[in-house]
Every structure is written in structure tokens, then in C-alpha cells.
Structure 1
Amino acid sequence: MPRRENRSRRRGPLRTARPRLLVVIGSLRTEQDYLIGLRDSAGTRAVDIQLVRKAKSPTAVVAYAANFVARAPDDFDEVWCVYDVDEFEVEPASREAARHRFQLAVSDPCFELWLLLHHEDCAAFLNGYREVERRLRKHLPGYDKTRLDFADHADGVGDAIRRAEKLGDSGNPSTDMWRLATRIRTEEEQ
């Protein structure tokens, strides 16, 4: 008589731990609202994200992230610093982030460029936040920096990623938000 396999001894598939990301944001609220919406849009929590707002200069954002991680060095798999160029000198922050092996999501001139890319191509120089906001309001007349509704942008995430990647890594306009968005979406789709 052939031997029957004992199914109770078989192991089920092993579940891998969710990647843990610390995202330190150098703004008041807009980026946080967007990232929460992006994370929650797929209805899964395949990636753990701890969001911390630190409305300061890019250098202060990176320093804050370094201090945060120093208190709990094993709590995160990746650290991301999200900030705008605006009127800041960002090179010192970029060097410090590289030293700590932090990822950056820098927008030049501002985060609203990333939002604009959800709705249209934009490759010409932008003269600061006001110009980006004016163009964004053509698509979202009620846009309010203090109350971002992710649903206004959800359908355009793929387009924004493609458009931002095409812009390149630096200069006005550019945004590295596509890298963070891709990281979050890739984990959600697995």
C-alpha cells in the first residue's frame, strides 16, 4: 500500500516581514496627506510607513531623521527625507543624507510640481510655488495646500511617475517623489 503524505506536517508559505520606512517630511501637511492617501489607496498595508513632519530647512530635516534613527537604529529598513528646494540650498542636506544612506524625495521648486505631474506634462522652468499652484488650479480649482484630497490625484499616479522620471534627477523642474511613490506602490502590488 502506498504511503500517504501527512498534510498536517506541511508548512504553509512563509510570510515576509513588511518593509519599515521612516519618512521625514519638511513641510506642514501636504506631503503627509498625499503619502497617507497613496499608502492606503491599494487597500493593503504591505509596507509600514511612519511619517514624521518637521517643517524646517532640508538640512534640519536630514539632521532630524538622523537623530530619530539614532534613538532606534533597528526600527527601519529605509529612511526617506522629503523636502522642497524652494529658496533653500539643498546640497549640504544631500551630502548628509548620502552619508547616512538615506533616500531623498526632493522637489524643485516645490511638492506641488509632483501633484501637477498627475495632471499634465511640465518640462519648462517654474518660477516658484505660485506659478505651480496657478497651473495646478487649472485642473483642481479648489486646490488647498492645507487640505489635500488624495482622490484628486489617485488616477494620475502612474502618469506622474512616468512624467517625473522623464524630467531627470535635478534642476527646475524635477521631483524625486516618483521614487518614493514607486517604492510604496511596488510593495502594495506584491
Structure 2
Amino acid sequence: MSPRVPKPSGSRRENDPVSRTTDLRRRPSGSKDERRSYLILCEGKTEKLYFTGMRTRLGPELAVDAPGGSHVEVVREAVRRCVDEYDEVWCVLDTELDGDLIERIQTAASEARVDLALSAPSFETWLLLHLKDCASPFASAEQAKKALAVTCPGWSEARTRFADFRKGVDDACDRARKLHGGERDPRLNPFTDVWRLVESILR
């Protein structure tokens, strides 16, 4: 999908303290640009396949990519890709149960005004929540992947399809919100706030 050409600077409020990713929300009703647009940069192929599968003809425009590089480099890449052209810009990343890594990601995103959808230890935590409650901690990302493969026979990172998880989206959002009593701390295990991005797309 080719990103839209940015509107002339006169169409935006100058010195708006609100995040740059919200600047294009005030579009005239009925205009060809009425559909919301998202830039979603993912850490890996699994996440990319999931969000690519969420594209619909009448839904929001989803520009999804997995550019490679470190977690912080993914955030910086989001900035380089003209964030002003999108209503919302997100990076979908794993925490890998590393507190220092989480801090570096959050710092980079704060400086760049990019939203984060983090999962601990990995994105597979979010996928598992489509299928069942998932409150026990994982020792590693690999353990989470193995648990998902057992719960969803036939699943693999390269064969991730949103269609296989579509029916459980509402359950996943509800379960993710309730993890750890609703506390939103990516240092928790398991953890995911991917539901924030998913609900934004679906609403």
C-alpha cells in the first residue's frame, strides 16, 4: 500500500501538543481519506502475518511491515517512515523478559511519539489468549511458542493466519485486560497490551 501524500502544513494546527499520530484525525466527513490509517511495524513474521490478515476492504488502511533490526531500530524506522502520514503509528515488539530492553524501547518510543504494543515474553502470549486463559509465567519465548503449538495444532510462525484467531479476538482482549488484575506493566509475565492496538483497529 502506498502511503498518502501529507496534507499541506496549513491544514494542521501549528504547535499542537497532541501526538503527531493524531494530526490527521480531523478529516471532512465523506472524503476519500475518511478511512483511518495505521503504520504497524513488527518485530517478526508472526506479528506481520497476523496484522496483515486484519485488512478488510472497508476497514482502516493498515501498512504492516517487519523491517528487521533491533527493537529500538524498529521504533526508529517507524519515525523514518513519515509518521505524519498516518493516524496512528505502532510498533509491535516482544519484551523477552528483559527489563533493560523494555526501558530502551519505551524511551525510544516516547521520544518518537510512537505507540507500543508489547508482549511478554513474546507475541505468542497474545495469540494464546485468543484460545484460553493464560496466567502462568513462561520461562522463555520458546516456551510460549510451544504452548501455542500445543493449543493450536498446525500453527507455526510462518503459517500464522488471523483467520485462525478471529473468533477469539474479543476473548483475547478481555483476558489481556484482566491479567495481573489489570495492571499494565510489561515487566510482568505473562503480559500483553496488543489488545490496545487491536481494539483501535476494530472500533
> What TM-score results when the alignment is normalised by the length of structure 1?
0.81
Quote the offset at 1:45 in angstroms.
2.9
Matches within 5 A, 1:40-51: 40=56, 44-51=57-64
Matches within 5 A, 1:64-103: 64-69=77-82, 73-86=83-96, 89-103=101-115
Distance 2:110 2:58 in 1: 28
| Correspondence for 2:30 | 15
The question of 1:161 aligning with 2:178 is answered no
Quote the offset at 1:38 in angstroms.
2.3
Distance 1:102 1:125 in 2: 28
Quote the offset at 1:161 in angstroms.
0.5
**Do the aligned residues in 2 keep the contact of 1:58 with 1:90 (CA within 8 Å)?**
no
Q: Which amino acid in 2 is paired with 1:169?
A: R
Distance 2:171 2:59 in 1: 22
Distance 1:92 1:104 in 2: 12
1:35 aligned residue (51, 66, 75): 51
**Do the aligned residues in 1 keep the contact of 2:124 with 2:144 (CA within 8 Å)?**
yes
| RMSD value, Cα | 1.8
1:123 is paired with a residue whose SS is: coil
Matches within 5 A, 1:131-142: 131-142=143-154
Distance 2:63 2:161 in 1: 20
2:64 is paired with a residue whose SS is: strand
Q: 1:59 to 1:14 in 2, by over 3 A?
A: closer
Quote the offset at 1:39 in angstroms.
2.9
Distance 2:29 2:75 in 1: 36
**Do the aligned residues in 2 keep the contact of 1:97 with 1:104 (CA within 8 Å)?**
yes
Quote the offset at 1:87 in angstroms.
5.9
**Do the aligned residues in 2 keep the contact of 1:38 with 1:181 (CA within 8 Å)?**
no
Question: In terms of mean alpha carbon deviation, does 84-93 or 150-159 score higher?
Answer: 84-93
Which 4+ residue blocks in structure 1 deviate beyond 3 angstroms? Answer: none
Question: In terms of mean alpha carbon deviation, does 87-96 or 160-169 score higher?
Answer: 87-96
> What TM-score results when the alignment is normalised by the length of structure 2?
0.76
User: Structure 1: 5+ residue runs without aligned partners?
Assistant: 1-12
User: Structure 2: 5+ residue runs without aligned partners?
Assistant: 1-27
| Correspondence for 2:25 | none
> CA offsets per residue over residues 79-138 of structure 1, 9 Å max, x none?
101111126512112112122221110111000001000011111211112221222123
